[in-house]
Structure formats: structure tokens, C-alpha cells
Structure 1
């Protein structure tokens, strides 16, 4: 699959010019809009702190697309311990940071397409070179998301995900 011809959506009937190969959560599931004005809270594109007690980084759950060299990804939030968050922040702009051991974390993004919930799945966060989001490796369980990360998904599954994300009310009624 070297080109992205888009897809015709079964929910709305429209032809979408491009098939999205990634989707991103804006904030961890525990974030509330009222936190934005608090001095002990932070939400940036890459890091989040809630009440100076809960620490998160954004990474990518990468899923290979079968029969191609392409990868689908979920940009999701992982909670880290205070020490691991501080270490990650200290190394944020440090060349060679990708040699760091993975950090243990808990998935803190609700990917509503999956049952059971994705909240609190065990993960390892692998730091990558500067400018690249960390790689999120899910614990190898029988959870559908973990299975997809290990075995890959089809282009048809990527279309299903795109339709569900673009039309969440329609996908919940199916």
C-alpha cells in the first residue's frame, strides 16, 4: 500500500480524500477543562501534570498494517511515576535519550472502540530520538488492542477505526 486513495464512509456516504493512519487524544482521560487555570496542572502536546500528583507523557501505540510496510498509530497518554516523568523530562532534549530503559506506565486514554476498556492497560514507554514521540508497548495480553499491536490489522480495520472516530455516535449504535 504505497498510496492512500481515501475511502467511502459507510456512516455518511461521503468520500474522504485520505484514510487517516493515526488518531490522537488531546489529553489523558483524567484531565478536566477546569485544570487549565490551576498552577499545579499542565497540559502541553507532549506532557501533562494533574494537581502535581499525576504525571503523563504522550506516545504512540503503533500497529502494523498487514500486507504493507505502513503503520497505523494511536497517539495516547501514559501515566508515569513521578521519578520516571522527571527522568523523561530531564532527557527530553538530550541526544542519545533513546538508549534509556523503557518506563513502566498505565494507558490513560480511553480508546472507545475497544472492549474491555483500554484505561489502565499495562505498558512500557520506549524513548526514541529527539523529535519522535515515545513508543508505547502494551503488555502482551489477550486485550484486543494488545493483540492488534502484536499481530497487525488490515486496511479494512483502519477504515473501520476511521469511521468510528469520525462518527462516534454512529459507531456506538452498531
Structure 2
């Protein structure tokens, strides 16, 4: 198996990759203070803030146009209390893939996009057990929505890696 590498213009070093995914560790609204507050839970797949705000971890895929692969943003999406309850109810059931998409708001700030990615409208699609839900953005002219529709190049993936590997600890 050959490991690919790339030259990083940020540090003048050589890295493995570039990585094809980055994931936010928590919704943009989560703070360290929430850790000790009642009604606040940050889990691997779900987050609740003050017993009132509900989030799920999801995958926002961008096609890589010149390789046929995908670049994946691990993001958080807020759901209404009713949709969060329904998604939780069917979470461990194989038939969850038959659920209609859930409306939600993107709750992750992707630092490489302007304007902000927070509160972009989404449709959250459940997938088979063991797979995170996938995010479909509303088809707007926001650069992230355009990237999801039209794809990005491997050169763009390298530029993302150069920025995120050295400047943004929120992604890993």
C-alpha cells in the first residue's frame, strides 16, 4: 500500500495525505462551561445544551471532482426537540433508513468559508446502522452549498489541509 504525501506551504514540511476528512469536536454553541451544567451532555453522536438545544453529529460530503472520491466534513446539526426525539427513538433500528429527512440547521463553523456556515438550512438523512447521518444543504449560492453540488478539486483539499492542520485545533 502506497502512502501519499503532500508538501505543505504552511510549514514547509511533508505530510501524509492530504486528509480527506475533518470533524468538529462539538457544536459551535458548546463551551467548556457546559461540561458541568445540568442538562448539558456532549457525546460522540449527540449533544444537548441546557435540556433545550439538540444536536447530532453528521457527515457533510463534498465530491472531489478530479478523483471521483469524497471529502468529508464531520459537522453538527441542530434538530427540533420532536425530530431529535424521533431520531433517538429509531437510532438503533435498521429501518431508520426509511425515515424521511429531518430539517435542521448547520451548527458548525467551517473556518475556510465566508460567510459563516452556522445556521445554513439542512436536510439530515439517516443511513444504515453504524453510519452517521448525511447532510444535504439547501441549494443556495453559499460557497459550501456550491462545493457540495459542484465538488472541489484535490488541489483545494490540499489547501484545506494546509490551513486546518496548523491553525484550527477545533478540527481533527
For this structure pair, what is the TM-score category when the shorter chain's length is used for normalisation? over 0.9
Partner in structure 2 of residue 89 of structure 1: 88
Partner in structure 1 of residue 37 of structure 2: 38
CA shift at 1:45, angstroms? Answer: 1.1
Counterpart-to-counterpart distance in 2, 1:83 and 1:96:
19
Higher relative contact order (CA 8 A, sep 6+): 2
Structure 1 runs (4+) greater than 3 angstroms displaced: none
Task: Report the secondary structure of 1:118's partner residue.
Answer: coil
Task: Report the secondary structure of 1:106's partner residue.
Answer: strand
Partner in structure 2 of residue 55 of structure 1: 54
Extract unaligned runs of 5+ from structure 2: none
**Contact 1:28/1:77, CA 8 A, preserved across alignment:** yes
Partner in structure 2 of residue 107 of structure 1: 106
- When normalised by structure 2's length, the TM-score is 0.94
- 1:104-152 deviations in Å (ceiling 9; x for gaps): 0000000011000001000000000010000000000000000000000
Partner in structure 2 of residue 11 of structure 1: 10
Moved more, 51-60 or 29-38: 29-38
**Contact 1:4/1:19, CA 8 A, preserved across alignment:** no
**Contact 2:63/2:150, CA 8 A, preserved across alignment:** yes
Partner in structure 2 of residue 125 of structure 1: 124
**Contact 2:27/2:108, CA 8 A, preserved across alignment:** yes
- When normalised by structure 1's length, the TM-score is 0.93
Task: Report the secondary structure of 1:96's partner residue.
Answer: helix
